[in-house]
Structure 1
């Protein structure tokens, strides 16, 4: 029978497209990885990879086997987690994925409270692009994900937690007065700064820009909310910033003002997701409850 290690090597090659990169990710020598994958092919009696000087590509049967291997590796990870938490379901290491537009401004107080309630629970927080993290969650690279909707996956439990307002901000000397509601037409032609388009927040910003006749500034994609903050404060344009960021100590309103626009109701919905068959559902629901309570308190 194939070993889990051999399947792990095959999946890593599929993800990287390269024996050299896969060996680096798996932290083994390239000859060892190559020998194990060759042994897997011999054991199965099928060619799983097309090898070339430029890298490696899955054969049709290889693609099918990799899809099954991902589920097997995810199940094996869940078995380890189940055994680790057999005496206490709130123990062990949980790999939590989140977006950089949320995690840094919400998780600190939540993690401190969780540690008080479940001192044997450890959270390994990984920030990334939401769509990419959904794939990581499905294949078992992370255990739970906190981020904006939409989320989808037939194998996932998805729990909506709260709605976070999105505010339109400008530099302090911007001509639109923040003390009175501005008519929507006052925004027409105004440049709107956004993040990398792969972020949900950037897509929402593009929709709002179109609705109000603003122009998305393509040459000024921010790398973080902080970079958007700084560019807006310098007068480059307006931006859409989440309420939790503006209320946080590391974010805030320094150099900014919130514009009041007639009928402005922009928000985003935040949810938590985990694999439906995970044995750690109790821990995930505890995290969900604390995220929800903390966020609502911060936004009240």
Structure 2
């Protein structure tokens, strides 16, 4: 049988590529810098190709080195899934789940999810990360996360997904402005630049524009907020209006404000909430069980 590269050396290579620094990569791997460097040299000798070009001050991954990193990352992810399959055989709601969630959902849903898991599945630990959709999907593909809670639609091609609920959009304005807006709301009656939205990397902006059929960009203020809480403060300062998901309103984001909730134009605008995981993951039962928990939380009155 031919000699195969060790998983340990592949792990060293992937982390060096991630950190782009030998000392930092060694710390991530909990080994000395010389051990990590020797492991990668071993890997090069075994494969018979140079993966990294080095000099005394810097290094550069070769073209074949870049490809080996990508394949090594996939191999390590598959090995992790294999270990989880065996570990959780017959007892799926145990161990750790590295769960990613977007910022327009995390503050309003993660707390009840964690409390529900602690109550129903005490042997299951959720490790949480909040980030944008794009970055979370990248981390999922690299095996850095196991499961995501996202707002759909999103480009989740290559992954499995499960819809767990619907989150309606509401229009929010200061009571002094809402009192003079004719009902039902017509965007044409709003002043130009009076609608505030999040920065483009937050998917709720695209969802709101699409779901609320907001075609006239002249109505959108060039100011872009970084969070829903910032949007609330801007609108509470009588500067205009915005759109908020129902889950944020239910969680009390409008507490101590003078804001009024209105129904936007269109046919009940909303976003879908879904779970996303890798197709190669062996924890289907775990993820679907968590999905059922989320469904209950999202339909609770």
Q: TM-score, normalised by structure 2?
A: 0.86
Q: Output the CA distance in 1 between the equivalents of 2:209 and 2:34.
A: 48
Distance 1:81 1:181, change over 3 A: same
**Counterpart in 1 of 2:97?**
94
Distance 1:85 1:36, change over 3 A: same
1:198 aligns to 2:201 (yes or no): yes
Q: Output the CA distance in 2 between the equivalents of 1:109 and 1:175.
A: 32
**Counterpart in 2 of 1:293?**
296
CA contact (8 A) 2:96 2:124 kept: yes
Distance 1:2 1:43, change over 3 A: same
Q: Output the CA distance in 2 between the equivalents of 1:214 and 1:268.
A: 24
**Counterpart in 1 of 2:170?**
167
1:130 aligns to 2:133 (yes or no): yes
Q: Output the CA distance in 1 between the equivalents of 2:279 and 2:108.
A: 27
Q: Output the CA distance in 2 between the equivalents of 1:232 and 1:145.
A: 30
**Counterpart in 1 of 2:156?**
152
Q: Output the CA distance in 2 between the equivalents of 1:291 and 1:24.
A: 37
Q: Output the CA distance in 1 between the equivalents of 2:110 and 2:42.
A: 44
Give the superposition deviation at 1:259: 3.3
**Counterpart in 1 of 2:20?**
17
**Counterpart in 2 of 1:41?**
44
Q: Output the CA distance in 2 between the equivalents of 1:52 and 1:196.
A: 42
Q: Which moved more, 1:262-271 or 1:143-152?
A: 262-271
**Counterpart in 2 of 1:237?**
240
Unaligned segments of structure 2, at least 5 residues: none
Equivalent of 1:211, from 197, 212, 215?
A: 215
**Counterpart in 2 of 1:58?**
61
CA contact (8 A) 2:166 2:298 kept: no
Distance 1:60 1:121, change over 3 A: same
Q: Output the CA distance in 1 between the equivalents of 2:197 and 2:27.
A: 34
**Counterpart in 2 of 1:140?**
143
Q: What's the RMSD between the two structures over aligned residues?
A: 2.6
Unaligned segments of structure 1, at least 5 residues: none
Give the superposition deviation at 1:275: 1.6
Give the superposition deviation at 1:65: 1.3
**Counterpart in 1 of 2:73?**
70
> How many residues are matched?
295
Q: Output the CA distance in 2 between the equivalents of 1:174 and 1:56.
A: 59
Give the superposition deviation at 1:231: 2.0
Give the superposition deviation at 1:179: 7.9
Q: Which moved more, 1:228-237 or 1:52-61?
A: 52-61
Equivalent of 1:269, from 253, 257, 272?
A: 272
Q: Residue 164 of structure 1 aligns to a residue in which SS?
A: strand
**Counterpart in 2 of 1:278?**
281
